[in-house]
Amino acid sequence: MVTARGSNTPSNDRRVRRTRSALAHALIALVEERDLSRISVSDVAEGAGVSRSAFYDHYRDVHELAEDACTAMIDNLMESLPGPGLDSPDLAQEATESLTAFFGSLAGHAGLYRALLGPQGSARVLGHIRRRIAEVIHQRLAHTDLSGWPERVPHDVTAAFTAGALIGVAVDWLEGGCARTPAEMAEVTWPLLHAQYRINEIDDS
């Protein structure tokens, strides 16, 4: 991401955050009306109430702004999720709620995510989402009593595998027009994700 020009004083930091937030909100509103490829810098600047030069103080183009907006939304979502271990007695409920929030976030900005996660999308955004999901799963594994966990299956590999599977389902769902609700997606996805842990436990017994 292009860094803003100017000093690093607190007042400037607030202006930077305020301008970037305005640009992101303007873009998100515009994506609800038209494809990302049809949105210009002038469109976003006008929607945010800033000049084109102010836009270029922060971003090279609309695509970079879109990437920044998506990664920020995913970061906020991941930070808001509860953090149970995988042996939590309420795991199914907590995981389903987290998955519903995940799919709900995607559905709330489906046009933007579809543009950045589709065939002509952004490797940066796709990789960022996959890494953040893997981090969350790895943290859950680290706080879980997995005395029977097979040593041949490292936690980082399990986390990466699960993140990749979830992203694949999410992209397919977005490209299909989000035919199922976020709650329905959570309900059908959780048993698939959880099955790998049960299988690992059975294989090691």
Does residue 126 contact residue 167 with C-beta atoms inside 8 Å? Answer: yes
| Structure confidence at residue 138 (pLDDT) | 79
Q: Which fold has domain 10-60?
A: Arc Repressor Mutant, subunit A (1.10.10)
| Structure confidence at residue 18 (pLDDT) | 92
| Structure confidence at residue 91 (pLDDT) | 74
Here the tokens at position 204 are: 């090691």
| Structure confidence at residue 50 (pLDDT) | 96
Rounded to an integer, what is the distance from CA 10 to the centroid of its chain?
28
How confident is residue 93, by pLDDT bands cut at 50, 70 and 90?
confident
Question: Is residue 188 pLDDT above 70, yes or no?
Answer: yes
| Structure confidence at residue 88 (pLDDT) | 66
Question: Is residue 34 pLDDT above 70, yes or no?
Answer: yes
- Kindly report, residue by residue over 94-119, the tens digit of the pLDDT: 888 889 999 999 999 999 999 899 88
CA dist 33 and 179 (Å) reads 19
In the numeric block, the tokens 């680290």 are attached to 142
Here the tokens at position 109 are: 């900005």
Does residue 112 contact residue 33 with C-beta atoms inside 8 Å? Answer: no
Quote the radius of gyration of the chain (alpha carbons, Å): 20
Least confident of 10-19, 121-130, 140-149, 178-187: 140-149
CA dist 43 and 81 (Å) reads 34
How confident is residue 150, by pLDDT bands cut at 50, 70 and 90?
low
Say which residues have a Cβ less than 8 Å from residue 160's Cβ, sequence separation at least 6.
Answer: 130, 134
In the predicted model, what is the mean pLDDT of residues 131-159? 73
In the predicted model, what is the mean pLDDT of residues 171-193? 94
Q: How many CB atoms lie within 10 A of CB 122?
A: 18
User: What are the residue ranges of CATH 1.10.10.60 in the chain?
Assistant: 10-60
Q: Which of 94 and 172 is assigned the larger pLDDT? A: 172
Q: Which of 44 and 79 is assigned the larger pLDDT? A: 44
The candidate with the shortest Cα–Cα distance to 77, out of 48, 109, 52, 46, is: 109
pTM more than 0.85: no
User: What are the residue ranges of CATH 1.10.357 in the chain?
Assistant: 69-204
The candidate with the shortest Cα–Cα distance to 65, out of 108, 114, 112, is: 112
Amino acid at 138: H
Does residue 83 contact residue 143 with C-beta atoms inside 8 Å? Answer: yes
In the chain, pLDDT over 90 holds for what percent of residues? 51
- Kindly report, residue by residue over 49-67, the tens digit of the pLDDT: 999 999 999 999 999 999 9
Question: Is residue 8 pLDDT above 70, yes or no?
Answer: no
CATH of 69-204, one of 1.10.760, 3.30.70, 1.10.357, 1.10.3470: 1.10.357
